[in-house]
Each structure stands twice: as C-alpha cells, then as structure tokens.
Amino acid sequence: MKTDHEILKDVQDELKWDPYLSSSEIGVSVKDGIVTLTGVVDSYWKKLAAENAIKKVAGVTVVVQKIEVRLSDSGKRKDSDIAEAIQSAFKWSVLVPKDKIKIKVENGWVTLEGDVEWEFQKNAARKAVEKLEGVAGVTNNVKVTPKALPGEIKQKIKSAFLRSATFDSERINVNVDGSTVRLSGKVRSWAEKKEAERQSWLAPGVTRVENDIEIDTEVYA
C-alpha cells in the first residue's frame, strides 16, 4: 500500500504531466489517501482537469476540491455572450436535447435546468458548457426522468459490468431502489471505482448512484 508521501509525489508528477496544467498554480496535500487541492486557476476547465488528473493516481481515495477560479480580464465574457455560446454548443452537439434544457448565466456562473431521459444527456450538457471561455462554474440541475423498472436497471448494469475488462464484476454488488443505484464491494483503484459508477449511470432511468465501493490496493494480492 502506498504511503502519503508516495501518493503526493505521484500526484505532483501527474499534474506536471498534463500540458494544460501548471503545477505552480495548484497546491497539493495528502493525508490517509485523501488529496486536497488548493490554489487559483484562470479557467473552470483547469479546475476540473486538475481534479480528473488526480483521480487517475493509484492510492487516492478521496479528492477534496478547494481550487478557486479567477478569470483573467482577457478571459472574462458578458453573461449574454456566454449564453449565446452555450446555445451554439448545444446546437452542434448530437448528445444534448437542446429543446429540453434551460440556461441561466449570472456573473459567469452557469445553471442548467430541465428534464431528460438519459444520464448521458445531462452529462453532455455539462461538458458542452465547462470548456467555454468565461465560464466560472456550472450547476447542473437537469433531472433524469425514470423510464425503467428497478429490476431492468439492475440487470442492464450487471450485464455492462460483465462485459467490462476494467474491473472484476464479481467483486461489486449492485442494488437498485426505485431509480437509485447503490454500489458496494472492493476494487483496486479510484479509477476502477469511478468506472463502475460511470457504467451504472449509463443505464436508462438511473437518477442517482451511491458509490460505496471500497478501494483496497491488495484486493487481488
């Protein structure tokens, strides 16, 4: 099992490896596998990129996000311009049901609302927004309306797990209550845990995933 010092070094190396990020902008501390990120970046996308990069590092169990976004003068945009850019991004995305999502922009902060049938549509809307210039943050209040029975949801998720080569599906338990999926069991890394969660969100009708999977680097030892 990795020590906090080893995890810290790997996290710092991962930040240096990403050409979009500057390790001098981001502070890192590690305690018991919990990584806390601090610092100031000039775009919302950099904040997300730092978090996503850290989650790939073996030994990381939790990421505490405390990075602040301060847009530079050249990076700031009028709220109306941001709204127009979002509408354009939605228009060109085949994954976003643009007629079902409402947009609100206030001081660069974007709020998305509406109802969709699939979780990937909700995520596609968020991803279309977070890389745009001038966006300081995103609140995704889009709701996923259940379209499937709990038994059908569970079966689809279990089938997806069996097809996956990323983790051992037999070590993950799936329970479905209404449209809520609860995952438990053990995997070797944060990446495997998040992949199981991602696979669960792909099932039609899922509105919530509670990921209680434990990370144990010696689970296959």
Global model pTM greater than 0.75? no
Decide if pLDDT at 133 tops 70: yes
Domain 4-69 maps to which CATH number in 3.40.50.720, 3.30.1340.30, 3.40.50.300, 3.40.605.10? Answer: 3.30.1340.30
Of 179, 176, 173, nearest to 208 by C-alpha is 179
pLDDT(122) > 70: yes
Q: What is the mean pLDDT of residues 48-62?
A: 90
User: For residue 202, what pLDDT is reported?
Assistant: 86
Range 166-191 average pLDDT: 89
What average pLDDT does the segment 143-151 reach?
A: 81
Domain boundaries, the chain: 4-69, 73-144, 150-215
* Whole-number CA gyration radius for the chain: 19
Q: What is the mean pLDDT of residues 34-61?
A: 92
Beta bridge partners of 35: 30, 63
- Is the pLDDT at 209 greater than 90? The verdict is yes
Model confidence at 221: pLDDT above 70? no
Do 139 and 102 form a contact (C-beta atoms < 8 A)? no
What distance in Å separates the CA atoms of residue 195 and residue 189, rounded to the nearest whole number? Answer: 10
Q: For 73-144, give the CATH class.
A: alpha beta
CA distance 146 to 43: 34
What's the whole-number mean pLDDT along residues 159-166? 85
Q: Return the closest-CA partner of residue 39 out of 17, 15, 5.
A: 15
Residue 174: beta bridge partners? Answer: 183
Which fold does the domain 150-215 belong to in CATH? Answer: Histidine-containing Protein; Chain: A; (3.30.1340)
Percentage of residues of the chain with pLDDT beyond 90: 65
The pLDDT score that the predictor gives to residue 38 is 96
Q: Tens digit of pLDDT for each residue in 65-113?
A: 999 999 988 989 999 999 999 999 999 999 999 899 999 999 999 999 9
% of the chain at pLDDT higher than 70? 97
Quickly state the pLDDT bin for 146 (edges 50, 70, 90): low
Evaluate whether 67 touches 39 at the Cβ level (below 8 Å): yes
Position 219 scores a pLDDT of 55
